């Protein structure tokens, strides 16, 4: 008989953070995000979290210019 191989599922980090913030389970937050359940508190938290995350990324991109990152971290050829 063939052995069954367990596959580890990678959790969605945003859904996990929102579950931690709101106190609901990860699975319930995932269902709300996919539109299978309706919960205004979770949806508001998801939107706020994703907006805050995108603002942070934009701010970091302004602080670290793309050209400077390439020059500084480019591999040196010997």
pLDDT beyond 80 at 78:
no
pLDDT of amino acid 33: 93
Domain boundaries, the chain: 13-73
> 59 or 66, which is more confident?
59
pLDDT of amino acid 2: 72
Q: Exposed/middle/buried for 18, CB within 10 Å: 0-12, 13-18, 19+?
A: buried
pLDDT beyond 80 at 5:
no
C-alpha of 57 from chain center: 12
In this predicted model, what pLDDT tens digit does every residue of 21-63 receive, in sequence order? 999 999 999 999 999 999 999 999 999 998 998 898 888 888 8
pLDDT of amino acid 73: 60
User: What pTM value is reported for the model?
Assistant: 0.63
pLDDT of amino acid 68: 57
């Amino acid at each position: 008989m063939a052995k069954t191989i367990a596959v580890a599922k990678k959790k969605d980090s945003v859904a996990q953070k929102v579950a931690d913030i709101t106190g609901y389970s990860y699975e319930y937050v995932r269902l709300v995000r996919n539109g299978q359940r309706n919960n205004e508190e979770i949806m508001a938290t998801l939107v706020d979290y994703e907006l805050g995350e995108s603002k942070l990324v934009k701010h970091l991109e302004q602080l670290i210019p793309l050209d400077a990152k390439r020059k500084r971290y480019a591999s040196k050829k010997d």
